């Protein structure tokens, strides 16, 4: 058992402080723990592009077997990704895109499709007549750009739908012009926010003003659990959310395939789906089941490890006795 080859995976996380990111890290840790030969190291760049570059440099120096990167910026990170490739270390990019094709594989859901799903849902419930506030996360990122692009592709076909664009800050709070818009236009029907956290914060502000009942909120991410989008849909805080899977466990599985010399597709698409009151329960039940299965397997792994330990002390003892 002891001579099974160790596989080291380095993961460079970009934004460390929200539940989508912690849930991605957690999914990776769980998946890694299911493969005893894997050692996973996670560095968190805390939104600092320089720190992220430095973290990846460190993985290159340490000669890890695979690097997984969830990029903060799409440009500044290019040289270090290319450097890893030159040094022969495969790189998997997850979520945000990078402006080079010199990586091994990309993994993530299609954000244009995410935007379109939100747009189609809005068209169908509003019957093509609505005033909408779209609240961006970071417009400089590929998810930000594409979620807006997909959404606008759909709603622009309906002249009865008007969209006002608003920014949010780094921590998911709509900027003050959101409040101004709510004040000046009394007929806002929908808010489409780029993630569930922003959608929740926008709802909270509307609630404090007493206008939350007039507005339907649509978010993105659809995490399971107490502060996730699915729960917000169940609580009727959000009208809907669009699932944007973190890809944590898939990234580890992809890394293992690459290390084992399997040929993998360059673009690995994760599925997305619209979650509203009709399917929120089914979705959370399904996710709960997966979580339970995973923790069962984790439990089993622990038991096996303990047994192995016991067995090896016993056999050492036996060997000792024989040698006497």
Closer residue to ligand FRU (CB): 126 or 141: 141
Closer residue to ligand FRU (CB): 14 or 284: 14
For 198, the token pair is 């922003």
For 137, the token pair is 């996360």
Q: What Å distances lie between residue 160 and 64, 81, 123, 163, 223, CA to CA?
A: 54, 45, 10, 10, 32
Distance CA(315)–CA(292), nearest Å, equals 34
Closer residue to ligand FRU (CB): 90 or 172: 172
Which 3 state secondary structure label does DSSP give 127? Answer: coil
Which 3 state secondary structure label does DSSP give 279? Answer: coil
**Stretch of 12-20, 50-58, 266-274, 306-314 lying at the interface with ligand FRU (CB under 6 A):** 12-20
Q: Rule CB under 6 A: which of 264-303 touch ligand FRU?
A: none
CB of 306 to ligand FRU, least distance (A): 37
**Strand 267-270 and strand 105-109: pairing?**
parallel
Which position's Cβ is nearest ligand FRU?
Answer: 195
User: By CB under 6 A, is residue 20 in contact with ligand FRU?
Assistant: yes
Interaction mask 235-264, ligand FRU, x per CB under 6 A: ---------x--------------------
Could you say which of 31, 221, 239, 250 contacts ligand FRU (CB under 6 A)? 221
Distance CA(273)–CA(311), nearest Å, equals 47
> Contact, 290 vs 31, CB < 8 A?
no
Closer residue to ligand FRU (CB): 115 or 137: 137
For 103, the token pair is 């990586």
> Contact, 12 vs 45, CB < 8 A?
yes
Distance CA(276)–CA(92), nearest Å, equals 32
User: By CB under 6 A, is residue 15 in contact with ligand FRU?
Assistant: yes
CB of 196 to ligand FRU, least distance (A): 7
Could you say which of 7, 11, 12, 18 contacts ligand FRU (CB under 6 A)? 18
List of residues contacting ligand FRU (CB under 6 A)? 15, 18, 20-21, 95-96, 137, 141, 143, 195, 220-221, 244
């Amino acid at each position: 058992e002891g001579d099974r080859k160790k596989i080291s995976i380095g993961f460079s996380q970009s934004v460390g402080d929200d539940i989508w990111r912690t849930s991605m890290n957690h999914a990776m840790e769980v998946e890694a723990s299911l493969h005893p030969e894997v050692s996973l190291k996670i560095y968190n760049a805390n939104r600092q592009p320089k720190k992220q570059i430095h973290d990846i440099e460190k993985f290159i120096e340490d000669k890890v077997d695979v690097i997984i990167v969830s990029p903060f910026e799409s440009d500044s990170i290019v040289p270090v990704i290319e450097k890893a490739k030159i040094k022969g270390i495969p790189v998997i990019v997850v979520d945000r895109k990078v402006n080079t094709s010199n990586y091994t594989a990309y993994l993530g859901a299609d954000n244009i499709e995410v935007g379109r799903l939100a747009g189609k849902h809005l068209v169908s419930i509003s019957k093509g007549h609505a005033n909408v506030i779209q609240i961006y996360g970071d417009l400089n990122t590929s998810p930000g750009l594409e979620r807006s692009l997909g959404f606008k592709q759909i709603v622009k076909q309906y002249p009865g739908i008007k969209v006002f664009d608003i920014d949010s800050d780094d921590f998911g709070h709509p900027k003050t012009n959101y409040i101004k818009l709510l004040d000046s236009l009394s007929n806002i029907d929908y808010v489409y926010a780029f993630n569930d956290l922003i959608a929740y914060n926008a709802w909270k502000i509307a609630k404090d003003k007493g206008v939350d009942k007039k507005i339907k909120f649509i978010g993105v991410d659809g995490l399971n659990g107490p502060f996730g989008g699915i729960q917000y849909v169940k609580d009727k805080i959000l009208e809907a959310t669009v699932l944007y899977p973190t890809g944590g466990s898939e990234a580890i599985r992809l890394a293992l395939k690459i290390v084992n010399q399997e040929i993998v597709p360059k673009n690995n698409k994760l599925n997305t789906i619209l979650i509203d009151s009709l399917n929120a329960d089914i979705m959370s039940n399904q996710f709960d089941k997966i979580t339970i299965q995973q923790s069962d397997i984790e439990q089993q792994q622990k038991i096996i490890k303990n047994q192995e330990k016991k067995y090896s002390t016993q056999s050492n003892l036996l060997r000792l006795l024989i040698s006497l």
